[in-house]
Structure 1
Amino acid sequence: MTLDTDAAHTIIPRDAHNVSRRDISPNALRVLYKLREAGFGAFLVGGAVRDLLIGGHPKDFDIATNATPEQVRGLFRNCRLIGRRFRLAHVVFGREIIEVATFRANQVLEEGVEVHEVEAVVRDNIFGSIDDDAVRRDFTANALYYSIEDFSIRDYVGGYEDVQARVLRLIGDPERRYREDPVRMLRAVRLAAKLDFTIDGPTAEPIPRLASLLREAAPARLFEECLKLFLSGHAVQSFIGLEAHGLLAILFPEAAAALQSNRSGALRSMVLKGLADTDARVAADETVSPSFLFALLLWPAYCRALARLQADGVQQVDAQQRAADRVTLHEMDVIALPRRFSLPMQEIWLLQPRFAQRQRRRVFRLLAHPRFRAAFDFLVLRLSASNEHAADVEFWREAQQHPDAAVAAAEAAGDIDETSERPKRRRRRRHAPSGTAE
């Protein structure tokens, strides 16, 4: 393979790489060609180029150009400008949005002035050259530019070789880049899991030392990162990567402590089995509930909190609710888990003891519960940690198909305490005679 190299960058010609226009969104090609026809530089950039090089199928196609956002808007009637800190152009084609960004440059700071002291809105909207734009990106694999002019790939930071070697490497000094944005540590783990890349040694080394910086990140942003980590089809490898680099204890401190103290490893086996099931559902294009995901990830913390409360003499029902509330509130200090997910998560936990009940009315009541299916799936998942609930799983599988027969069989086997089925006596309301003071 012959590469054209100068002091600034390497050019990989069309006959030396596998990126084809056939694999690029037709709408992205329309934007690229129109920018070029208008006299601007136009490049497909970032994850799309990286994924195409390794034979993937990108869902998003981002474009970089020397046209300003206003100039891009002038070319496309279907364009809107978004963002204040980082001004971008979105060219809208029905449900597909092609994001177009102007080349950015880092602001040159006076000696002694820290990056965080500069107004971000000003700093992120300083336009520059393609060379400037490349070195601002996070990983070398994301700093590759596919030119629509000659279909070559331009590499300014050694990203092409890193993609070929399947290595994830930060651009610049890793410690400084993590201090600029600690969430890059999570992004490194996520991309390595997604791409099956190895994190470069110098890129990986500071992560355990700097992991605590994530506590300074906005909880809402950490919640979004968790969804990307675990709902993109690579949850198992993401979990293992978080463990290996000391990040799991930052995102899920109580769950990580519970897993550490669980000597049998049963809880970890359950979590990994659940995450593997999640990956299978994503691969099959099936929906995955964030409530179920967080019920799984925080289950070890809930079990530990429940055991401690019961050891302190708290009654079971009270202990269950208090443990659920405690774990939820503590986790919300780290990631902004919305109530629309945390409340169903708690219901999944609190329904678990009810699967041991066989009374007729309670069986039908539980079957009608809106969270029954998720709670039952969670019960099935618990079999990967312990076979203790096998009889419950068998009963409720049958109850979903033939509830009357399942209850009758339980009654015949003596599994139901009929005394608990006696209806409660309704208290009559006594009415005072009309016209009296009583």
Structure 2
Amino acid sequence: MIKSTIKSFVNRLFNSPASDTKKTKARVYHQEQHGIDRRLVSRNAIKVCEVLNQKGFQAFIVGGAVRDLILGLEPKDFDVATNATPEAVRACFRRARIIGRRFQLVHVVFGPEIIETSTFRANSNGQNKTDEHGRILNDNVFGTQEEDAARRDFTLNALYYDPLTEQVIDYHNGLSDLRKHLVRIIGDPETRYREDPVRMLRAVRFAAKLNGTIEPHTKEPIKQLAELISNVPDSRLFDETLKLMTCGNALACLKQLREEGLHEGTLPLLDVVLKQPGGQKFVELTLDRTDHRVRLGKSVSPSFLYAALLWRLVDVYWKRNIAQKEPPMQALIHAADQVLEDQVHKLAIQRRHTTDMREIWFMQPRFERPVPRQIWKMTEQPRFRAACDFLQLRAASGEFDSVQAQWWMDLADTDAAGKTQMIEELAQKQKGMPATSANTARKRRKRRSPARKKAALPQQDIS
């Protein structure tokens, strides 16, 4: 009896679809149909699939990695889905750890790369714990691959790639939607957004990243449910907001967020910033340059990004404090304190980022009145280059002299000898000495060789 009960439970856990899930026939695409270049796939992700397969489990690369591979892009990270439980996955690898409470998964570690491995999930049938708004608080009901596909958010994310057979398995016509650049949710949109409000932000991000559209049925409830974003934990909201601004099409993202009213939960300061003089131009310049860096495959610093988004507020308070007779540097410190006090909690910015933001801001007044003997110390500060990039933004928006901003950027880009020459020429210029005289004076100060020093010494009289 007990043995029969256990067998029934195991079959229900891994082999039977949830009672409210219709049987879906999967489409299987071969390499010549999906076009994935296996050379773009992480060797470590393939290794995880190989090991689990050898242990008798199914394992597939899933999610954003498959989406990017089909589009011919090289994914930033790789996730694996399997029918092995988290404990079974951990037992297969020497360096693996189980993480998460709401959604338990395994991090398999290969040096600097982490392959996030999850067990196929099933619909909860009411077993999951939710809050009063319907957001799922615990999601560890395991199931089959078909059930796992049904509970993923969008069709273009419900694709499973087997790197061993090079097949793509598609339960929800996701490959077709992906090629049409269409973002379509799986299931009832309102229910799915209530389960996880972040899905509304993801819909906007995917549409912007793909230069595509959100399917009308998927888009319809977003404005009505936008306020649910406030129920998302701060740390998760910070991560998702950062992804929005570094997706390579951030400006389109923010415009869409404002149209849907989602910016109130992610970037509540946006309306305030855009109302400031020059605020819209500064934000657009920031996001345009961020998009350019992303498209070139360069990294984007969260500290720099948030320092730029908050700068117009800081600048307003800084000028107001100066008008109230505060010394300029003290006025800037007080302005930064006030803005960060108001916005850090709302934006869930971590302390390490606010420290970097302050360094970038506090270096700006020093660019305006450069003191040659202090410039070397400035160049040695960790955020000097970021502060120079920030100065370029200010110059592009018309609030700083572009020629002077370029001098600082040239200083940041040159080597030690070049820095010495530029600083000495600046010092002579401030003294009113022509550049040619400055060069002559600098040559005269060069250390003489020991032989010349010896020749220059007076002969000692030993008679």
TM-score normalised over the length of structure 1: 0.78
Instruction: Tell whether the 8 Å contact from 2:276 to 2:313 is kept in structure 1 after alignment.
Output: no
Task: Classify 1:37/1:259 alpha carbon distance in 2 versus 1 (closer, same or farther; 3 Å).
Answer: same
Residue 10 of structure 1 aligns with which residue? 26
Cα displacement (A) at 1:35: 3.4
Task: Classify 1:212/1:301 alpha carbon distance in 2 versus 1 (closer, same or farther; 3 Å).
Answer: farther
> What does 1:253-264 align with in structure 2 at a 5 Å threshold?
253-262=268-277
> What does 1:2-401 align with in structure 2 at a 5 Å threshold?
8-14=24-30, 15-109=32-126, 115-116=130-131, 123-147=138-162, 151-231=166-246, 233-262=248-277, 266-309=278-321, 316-358=328-370, 366=378, 371-386=383-398, 388-393=400-405, 396=408, 400=419, 401=421
Cα displacement (A) at 1:314: 6.1
SS for the counterpart of 1:253 is coil
| Equivalent position amino acid for 1:322 in 2 | H
Residue 424 of structure 1 aligns with which residue? none
Task: Classify 1:230/1:144 alpha carbon distance in 2 versus 1 (closer, same or farther; 3 Å).
Answer: same
Q: Distance in 2 between matches of 1:182 and 1:191?
A: 15
SS for the counterpart of 2:202 is helix
| Equivalent position amino acid for 1:129 in 2 | T
Cα displacement (A) at 1:333: 2.0
**1:406 aligns with one of 418, 422, 426:** 426
| Equivalent position amino acid for 2:427 in 1 | V
Instruction: Tell whether the 8 Å contact from 1:249 to 1:257 is kept in structure 2 after alignment.
Output: no
SS for the counterpart of 1:63 is strand
Task: Classify 1:176/1:303 alpha carbon distance in 2 versus 1 (closer, same or farther; 3 Å).
Answer: farther
Q: Distance in 2 between matches of 1:365 and 1:198?
A: 50
Cα displacement (A) at 1:49: 1.9
SS for the counterpart of 2:106 is strand
With 155-164 and 350-359 compared, the bigger mean Cα shift is at 350-359
Instruction: Tell whether the 8 Å contact from 1:109 to 1:115 is kept in structure 2 after alignment.
Output: no
| Equivalent position amino acid for 1:31 in 2 | V
Instruction: Tell whether the 8 Å contact from 1:9 to 1:154 is kept in structure 2 after alignment.
Output: no
Residue 435 of structure 1 aligns with which residue? none
Q: Distance in 2 between matches of 1:170 and 1:251?
A: 21
> Superposition RMSD on alpha carbons, in Å?
3.4
With 325-334 and 202-211 compared, the bigger mean Cα shift is at 202-211
Task: Classify 1:403/1:218 alpha carbon distance in 2 versus 1 (closer, same or farther; 3 Å).
Answer: same
SS for the counterpart of 2:194 is helix
Q: Deviations 1:4-50 (Å, cap 9, x if unpaired)? A: xx951231331532235444333333433443444433333222222
Cα displacement (A) at 1:150: 5.5
Q: Distance in 2 between matches of 1:377 and 1:16?
A: 44
Cα displacement (A) at 1:369: 5.3
| Structure 1 residue runs without a partner (length 5+) | 1-5, 414-438
With 42-51 and 393-402 compared, the bigger mean Cα shift is at 393-402
| Equivalent position amino acid for 2:81 in 1 | A
Q: Distance in 2 between matches of 1:403 and 1:244?
A: 49
Q: Distance in 2 between matches of 1:120 and 1:278?
A: 33
Task: Classify 1:150/1:352 alpha carbon distance in 2 versus 1 (closer, same or farther; 3 Å).
Answer: closer
Cα displacement (A) at 1:165: 0.8
Q: Deviations 1:78-100 (Å, cap 9, x if unpaired)? A: 54433343332344434333333
TM-score normalised over the length of structure 2: 0.75
Residue 443 of structure 2 aligns with which residue? none
Instruction: Tell whether the 8 Å contact from 2:135 to 2:196 is kept in structure 1 after alignment.
Output: no
SS for the counterpart of 1:56 is coil
Instruction: Tell whether the 8 Å contact from 1:69 to 1:89 is kept in structure 2 after alignment.
Output: yes
Task: Classify 1:18/1:373 alpha carbon distance in 2 versus 1 (closer, same or farther; 3 Å).
Answer: closer
Q: Deviations 1:48-72 (Å, cap 9, x if unpaired)? A: 2222222222233322222222333
Q: Distance in 1 between matches of 2:389 and 2:222?
A: 35
Q: Distance in 1 between matches of 2:144 and 2:162?
A: 15
Task: Classify 1:61/1:411 alpha carbon distance in 2 versus 1 (closer, same or farther; 3 Å).
Answer: same
With 352-361 and 52-61 compared, the bigger mean Cα shift is at 352-361
Instruction: Tell whether the 8 Å contact from 2:205 to 2:247 is kept in structure 1 after alignment.
Output: no
Q: Distance in 1 between matches of 2:81 and 2:203?
A: 22
| Equivalent position amino acid for 1:11 in 2 | R
Instruction: Tell whether the 8 Å contact from 2:38 to 2:163 is kept in structure 1 after alignment.
Output: no
Residue 417 of structure 1 aligns with which residue? none
SS for the counterpart of 1:172 is coil
Cα displacement (A) at 1:307: 4.7
Task: Classify 1:288/1:29 alpha carbon distance in 2 versus 1 (closer, same or farther; 3 Å).
Answer: closer
Q: Deviations 1:92-112 (Å, cap 9, x if unpaired)? A: 4343333332211122128xx
Q: Distance in 1 between matches of 2:360 and 2:223?
A: 33
Q: Deviations 1:377-436 (Å, cap 9, x if unpaired)? A: 2222112211652353256467755122213223429xxxxxxxxxxxxxxxxxxxxxxx
Q: Percent identity?
A: 43
Cα displacement (A) at 1:259: 0.8
| Structure 2 residue runs without a partner (length 5+) | 1-21, 412-418, 434-463
Cα displacement (A) at 1:323: 1.9
Q: Distance in 2 between matches of 1:285 and 1:299?
A: 26
Task: Classify 1:411/1:268 alpha carbon distance in 2 versus 1 (closer, same or farther; 3 Å).
Answer: farther
Q: Distance in 2 between matches of 1:256 and 1:334?
A: 14
